[in-house]
Amino acid sequence: MAEVLNVSKSGYYKWRTRKPCKHNRDDQDLLAMILKLYNASNRVFGSKKIKKELDKIIKPFINHKRIERIMHDNHIYAKVSRQFKVTTNSRHRLPIDENLLNRDLRQSPPI
């Protein structure tokens, strides 16, 4: 493996046994908090709302881009739902066209 990566064997084995850096350990702790808030929100919160909640809990504040990166790397996405918008105006005084097909759309009772 060391030859493929073009590094020394001792450097490769030292890299394999090296402990994660402080930043990566902090990211793992932050991921646990993000997942807790995300699941508590019924998987609705995105990075902005999670940041607001984390700001209440953690000092110093965490940058929103870091939260976005952690969520993206761990495939955590918010549920996006749009507000229902009525597009039909049934209350008007305009003439209504005649039913040319004369279809009866009522359901018949089950047999």
pTM, 2 dp? 0.64
Q: Three-state SS for 69?
A: helix
* C-alpha dihedral, 44 to 24 to 28 to 69, nearest 10°: 10
Kindly report the average pLDDT of the chain as a whole number.
89
User: Which pLDDT band, with edges at 50, 70 and 90, does 95 fall under?
Assistant: confident
pLDDT of residue 33: 95
Task: Please give the angle made by the CA atoms of 82, 85 and 91, to the nearest 5 degrees.
Answer: 170
> Hey, what are 26's tokens?
């902090």
pLDDT of residue 59: 79
Question: Who contacts 28 (Cβ-Cβ below 8 Å, separation ≥6)?
Answer: 20
Mean pLDDT of all residues in 38-55: 94
pLDDT, tens digit, for every residue of 9-21?
898 888 889 999 9
pLDDT, tens digit, for every residue of 47-94?
999 999 999 988 788 999 999 999 999 999 998 888 888 888 888 888
Burial level of 109, CB count in 10 A (0-12/13-18/19+)?
exposed
> Hey, what are 35's tokens?
């997942």
pLDDT of residue 90: 81
pLDDT of residue 97: 82
